[in-house]
């Protein structure tokens, strides 16, 4: 919205500050001036303003002047547009409000023998050409410009009808089913029975408070005019405008609450400007009001205000005396309130009468805000409240933090992906494919549903890197996944991770090393290792059982099982999915269901004594059938329950051409150590025998 300081100063000739200071003072009181543009010598400045939607009353020159008057304690004269003497009418122009719930006031004035022509500066207080020129507002004709002038001056919409095209009189009513109206934008509209219209005795003339009609518009030939200035209900106007996809200056104002008392003055502005080009008034102003709506706007009951409440809410000011009764009275009176000391209530209490143009003020707290606003927010002190209770963290905060740190230590960057995915990606990745929640107004088809899994987003981010020639990718995301129906949506925490390319980059001294399944498995083990679980293991189902997620390579996928419950899946991206995404690189991807991990206690580190006695390492070279995985050997060794067998691990796995087709070779290192003694040869010999026997039972033999 644009405001001319030249126009403002015409209302407040005594303004004691320059345009820059005025802009700052207004801004700090919530009447925000976003930009100041000098218009040259004698023309003042143009303010580009951004006024919040609750302050429609200030979206015009007189409204801003009222704020300035309050800030500088200046008197603001009422708007006065004297009209020439009235030529009596035989009968007053007939106006009837049928829709008494939606139209609170309708004023009509008849002008005869006017001349439609170009605008100019008509008289002091009606400098149409000057102001429109400075505002770069296009001038159209004296009739249109007069209405715009009233709008810019005081924010009250008006409308002028070609009187000779009105049949009978005015009726404000709801539209009839199927009724037609061509509006000023040239569109033929079919009206809804809920639409509020201004009609004559035969037909609808315009959408009330939104847009006038084509057939009764002012043309260069128009001689006689009916000037409307009215008050329409915000909700009725909003609904009508929305139904027709319209948003006009008039609807903007009425939707946010117009000034019930503004109609006669706005009408006088329009009429005095039109009459400056000739013509006469016929009859007195016709002014029809609905008392019930007047009681809700211009005649609202006074509301009580107590100084103690003002101080309880606002607190301390920079100056020691704080907010005083005098400050409250000065501010509210300047804004147009009437204050009556409520002696019966005792102390500094008032009954406050509210101005008709401030429908946003309804309660005591609204008055308190006005006091704070005009007094100046920055004149309040900076204090701190007393300390409350102890600080509580979220129950899973520690777990989430541990997981994040573990993944970062493993070399993964944290990422944040889209909350949405396409229905087909959801079908591919949802742990419960039937429970995917669609959006009613998605941003795009690719973002049509709430993500049931973090995997689609992770794949998109991994692919994004690879497509940008960033070949080494290690990402994880901690986020919410959604499942359920459009009636009830469940949210769960999850973590996805994705990797491709090299884990260690090539340096002068070391070769590069590609990240692989087991690198990622290591990270997953470290994550599950953050929790105290009775058991954690990895398995996969037979490829043909249909239980492996479709996005995973069926023979390079692992299920993460924690305390017997599935806690996630990971593995190599299925080559079919990789091809569909045009990925030539091997991508390792997975997801953990964190709600299942968060149920477990965090692992607490506990120290145990480090043995001072020599450990003994023994290597075992094994030959196994390819159907025997390491897990069986591992389980056989833990089944031995030899306390002195403190560690065993695979040192090497290789396919030896000297062995049978279905065999492979495995080198295992085992470490024996006792906490209290050096192990004797006989003991070691016995351990060795037990190990060989156990792995033999598991299906391996010692290589001779």
Partner 1 sequence: MTNQPIPDLTAFDEAALDKAFAQLEQEARQAASGLNDEAAVEAFRLEWLGRKQGRLNEVSGRWLKAAPVEAKKALGVRFNSLKAVVEALLDAALGSGPSDASLKAEALDITLPGTQRLVGAEHPITRTLNEIVSVFAALGYSVGVGPEVETDFYNFESMNFPPGHPARDTQDTLVVANQERRSQRDRLLLRTHTSPVQMRTMEQQPPPVRIVIPGKVHRNDAADATHSPIFHQVEGLCVDTNITFSDLKGTLDHAMKALFGSAVKTRFFPSFFPFTEPSADVQISCIYCGGKGCRKCKQSGWIELLGCGMVDPAVFAFAAEKQPAYDPKEISGFAFGMGVERIAMMKYGISEIGSFYSGDMRFLGQFV
Q: Take residue 580 and report the two structure tokens written for it.
A: 């569909």
Interacting residue with partner 1 among 186, 440, 601, 605 (CB under 8 A): 440
Task: Pick the piece of the chain touching partner 1 (CB under 8 A) from 193-201, 223-231, 454-462, 561-569.
Answer: 454-462
Cα-to-chain-centroid distance, residue 701: 66
486 near partner 1, rule: CB under 8 A:
yes
Task: Pick the piece of the chain touching partner 1 (CB under 8 A) from 23-31, 174-182, 628-636, 687-695.
Answer: 23-31
Task: Pick the piece of the chain touching partner 1 (CB under 8 A) from 2-10, 193-201, 291-299, 459-467.
Answer: 459-467
> Which residues fall within 8 angstroms of residue 266, CB to CB, at 6 or more apart?
150, 154, 156, 157, 158, 229
Task: Pick the piece of the chain touching partner 1 (CB under 8 A) from 279-287, 411-419, 571-579, 692-700.
Answer: 411-419
Instruction: Output the smallest distance, CB 388 to partner 1, in A.
Output: 4
Interacting residue with partner 1 among 140, 144, 184, 313 (CB under 8 A): 313
Instruction: Output the smallest distance, CB 237 to partner 1, in A.
Output: 11
| Cβ nearer to partner 1, comparing 96 with 404 | 404
Residues 24-43 that bind partner 1 (CB under 8 A): 27-30, 32
Interacting residue with partner 1 among 419, 602, 621, 671 (CB under 8 A): 419
Residues 216-235 that bind partner 1 (CB under 8 A): 235
Q: Which of 31, 27, 9, 10 is nearest to 18 (CA)?
A: 9
Q: Take residue 164 and report the two structure tokens written for it.
A: 């000779």
Instruction: Output the smallest distance, CB 685 to partner 1, in A.
Output: 28
Q: Which of 230, 219, 278, 281 is nearest to 253 (CA)?
A: 230
Instruction: Output the smallest distance, CB 600 to partner 1, in A.
Output: 20
Interacting residue with partner 1 among 99, 246, 504, 679 (CB under 8 A): 504
| Cβ nearer to partner 1, comparing 32 with 135 | 32
Instruction: Output the smallest distance, CB 204 to partner 1, in A.
Output: 24
315 near partner 1, rule: CB under 8 A:
yes
Residues 530-589 that bind partner 1 (CB under 8 A): none
DSSP state, residue 546: S
d(CA 192, CA 178): 7
d(CA 106, CA 285): 10
99 near partner 1, rule: CB under 8 A:
no
d(CA 7, CA 26): 16
Task: Pick the piece of the chain touching partner 1 (CB under 8 A) from 172-180, 209-217, 460-468, 635-643.
Answer: 460-468
For partner 1 (CB under 8 A), the number of binding residues is: 95
Instruction: Output the smallest distance, CB 488 to partner 1, in A.
Output: 8
d(CA 548, CA 554): 7
Interacting residue with partner 1 among 201, 312, 617, 631 (CB under 8 A): 312
**392 class by beta-carbon count within 10 Å (0-12 exposed, 13-18 middle, 19+ buried):** exposed
Angle at 503 between CA 502 and CA 509, to 5 degrees: 85
| Cβ nearer to partner 1, comparing 169 with 411 | 411
What count of Cα atoms within 13 Å lies in the side-chain half-sphere of residue 132? 23
| Cβ nearer to partner 1, comparing 365 with 580 | 365
Instruction: Output the smallest distance, CB 128 to partner 1, in A.
Output: 31
Interacting residue with partner 1 among 472, 596, 645, 668 (CB under 8 A): 472
Instruction: Output the smallest distance, CB 460 to partner 1, in A.
Output: 8
Contact string 106-135 vs partner 1 (x = CB under 8 A): ------------------------------
Strand ranges across the sheet with 338-341 = 303-306, 349-353, 338-341
Instruction: Output the smallest distance, CB 377 to partner 1, in A.
Output: 4
* Tokens 């930009």 sit on residue: 35
d(CA 704, CA 693): 15
Beta bridge partners of 450: 420
Interacting residue with partner 1 among 113, 341, 409, 432 (CB under 8 A): 409
Task: Pick the piece of the chain touching partner 1 (CB under 8 A) from 215-223, 307-315, 591-599, 650-658.
Answer: 307-315
414 near partner 1, rule: CB under 8 A:
yes
What is the 3 state secondary structure string of 618-671? Answer: EEEEEEEECCCCHHHHHHHHHHHCCCCEEEEEEEEEECCCCCCCCEEEEEEEEE
Query: How many CB atoms within 10 Å of residue 409?
Result: 10
DSSP state, residue 699: T
* Tokens 């005649």 sit on residue: 299
Q: Take residue 587 and report the two structure tokens written for it.
A: 């991508």
DSSP state, residue 276: T
Interacting residue with partner 1 among 180, 201, 202, 316 (CB under 8 A): 316
Q: Which of 249, 363, 242 is nearest to 309 (CA)?
A: 363
3-state SS, residue 217: coil
The helix (run of H) or strand (run of E) holding residue 106 is strand 103-112
d(CA 454, CA 622): 41
Answer whether 633's CB lies under 8 Å from 585's CB: no
Q: Which of 580, 567, 557 is nearest to 533 (CA)?
A: 567
421 near partner 1, rule: CB under 8 A:
no
For the chain, first and last CA: distance in Å?
Answer: 92
Residues 159-198 that bind partner 1 (CB under 8 A): none
255 near partner 1, rule: CB under 8 A:
yes
Residues 345-404 that bind partner 1 (CB under 8 A): 363, 365-366, 368-369, 372-373, 377-378, 380-394, 397, 404
d(CA 670, CA 188): 90
What count of Cα atoms within 13 Å lies in the side-chain half-sphere of residue 290? 21
474 near partner 1, rule: CB under 8 A:
yes
| Cβ nearer to partner 1, comparing 413 with 626 | 413
Instruction: Output the smallest distance, CB 589 to partner 1, in A.
Output: 13
Instruction: Output the smallest distance, CB 437 to partner 1, in A.
Output: 6
Instruction: Output the smallest distance, CB 581 to partner 1, in A.
Output: 14
Residues 41-60 that bind partner 1 (CB under 8 A): 52-55
| Cβ nearer to partner 1, comparing 55 with 599 | 55
Interacting residue with partner 1 among 465, 528, 572, 673 (CB under 8 A): 465
d(CA 449, CA 426): 8
| Cβ nearer to partner 1, comparing 308 with 686 | 308
For 702, left (φ over 0), alpha (ψ -120 to 50), or beta?
beta
Instruction: Output the smallest distance, CB 381 to partner 1, in A.
Output: 5
Interacting residue with partner 1 among 341, 505, 638, 655 (CB under 8 A): 505
| Cβ nearer to partner 1, comparing 59 with 128 | 59
| Cβ nearer to partner 1, comparing 369 with 516 | 369
């Amino acid at each position: 919205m644009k405001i001319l300081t030249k126009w403002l100063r015409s209302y407040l000739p005594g303004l004691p500050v320059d345009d820059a200071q005025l802009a700052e003072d207004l801004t700090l009181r919530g009447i925000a001036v976003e930009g100041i543009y000098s218009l040259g010598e004698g023309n003042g400045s143009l303010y580009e303003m951004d006024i919040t939607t609750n302050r429609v009353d200030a979206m015009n020159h007189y409204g801003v002047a009222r704020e300035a008057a309050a800030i500088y304690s200046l008197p603001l004269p009422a708007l006065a547009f004297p009209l020439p003497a009235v030529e009596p009418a035989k009968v007053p122009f007939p106006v009837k409000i049928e829709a008494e719930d939606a139209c609170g006031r309708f004023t009509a004035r008849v002008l005869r023998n006017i001349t439609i022509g170009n605008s100019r500066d008509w008289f002091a207080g009606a400098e149409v050409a000057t102001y429109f020129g400075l505002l770069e507002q296009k001038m159209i004709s004296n009739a249109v410009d007069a209405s715009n002038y009233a709008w810019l001056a005081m924010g009250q919409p008006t409308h002028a009808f070609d009187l000779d095209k009105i049949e009978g009189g005015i009726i404000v009513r709801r539209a009839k089913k199927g009724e037609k109206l061509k509006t000023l934008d040239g569109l033929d509209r079919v009206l809804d029975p809920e639409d509020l219209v201004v009609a004559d005795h035969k037909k609808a003339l315009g959408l009330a408070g939104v847009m006038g009609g084509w057939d009764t518009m002012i043309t260069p030939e128009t001689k006689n005019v009916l000037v409307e200035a009215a008050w329409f209900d915000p909700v009725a106007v909003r609904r009508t405008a929305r139904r027709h996809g319209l948003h006009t200056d008039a609807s903007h104002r009425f939707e946010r609450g117009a000034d019930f008392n503004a109609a006669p003055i706005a009408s006088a502005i329009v009429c005095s400007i039109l009459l400056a080009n000739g013509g006469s008034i016929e009859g007195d102003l016709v002014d029809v009001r609905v008392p019930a709506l007047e009681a809700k706007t211009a005649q609202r009951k006074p509301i009580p205000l107590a100084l103690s409440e003002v101080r309880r809410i606002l607190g301390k000011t920079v100056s020691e005396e704080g907010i005083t009764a005098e400050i409250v009275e000065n501010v509210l009176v300047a804004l147009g309130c009437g204050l009556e000391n409520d002696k019966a209530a005792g102390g500094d209490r008032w009954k406050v009468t509210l101005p008709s143009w401030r429908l946003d003020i309804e309660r005591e707290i609204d008055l308190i805000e006005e006091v704070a606003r005009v007094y100046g927010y920055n004149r309040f002190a900076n204090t701190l409240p007393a300390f409350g209770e102890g600080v509580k963290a979220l129950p899973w905060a520690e777990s989430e933090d541990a997981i994040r740190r573990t993944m970062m230590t493993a070399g993964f960057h944290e990422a944040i992906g889209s909350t949405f995915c396409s229905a087909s990606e959801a079908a591919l990745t949802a742990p419960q494919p039937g429970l995917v929640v669609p959006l009613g107004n998605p941003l795009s088809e690719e973002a049509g549903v709430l993500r049931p899994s973090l995997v689609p987003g992770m794949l998109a981010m991994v692919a994004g890197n690879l497509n940008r020639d960033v070949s080494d990718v290690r990402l994880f995301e901690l986020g919410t996944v959604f499942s359920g129906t459009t009636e009830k949506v469940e949210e769960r925490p999850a973590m996805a991770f994705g990797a491709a390319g090299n884990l260690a980059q090539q340096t002068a001294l070391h070769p590069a090393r590609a990240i692989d399944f087991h690198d990622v498995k290591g990270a997953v083990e470290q994550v599950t290792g953050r929790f105290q679980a009775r058991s954690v293991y990895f398995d996969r189902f037979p490829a043909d059982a249909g239980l492996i997620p479709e996005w995973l390579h069926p023979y390079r996928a692992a299920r993460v099982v924690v305390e017997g419950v599935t806690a996630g899946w990971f593995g190599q991206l299925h080559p079919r999915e990789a091809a569909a995404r045009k990925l030539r690189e091997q991508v390792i991807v997975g997801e953990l269901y964190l709600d299942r991990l968060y149920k477990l206690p965090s692992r607490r580190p506990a120290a145990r004594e480090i043995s001072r006695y020599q450990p003994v390492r023994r290597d075992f070279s094994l030959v196994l059938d390819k159907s025997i995985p390491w897990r069986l050997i591992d389980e056989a060794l833990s089944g031995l329950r030899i306390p002195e067998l403190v560690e065993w691990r695979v040192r090497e796995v290789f396919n030896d051409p000297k062995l049978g087709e279905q065999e492979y070779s495995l080198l295992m290192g085992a470490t024996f150590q006792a906490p209290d003694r050096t192990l004797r040869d006989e003991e070691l010999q016995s351990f060795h025998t037990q190990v060989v026997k156990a792995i033999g039972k598991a299906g391996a033999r010692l290589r001779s």
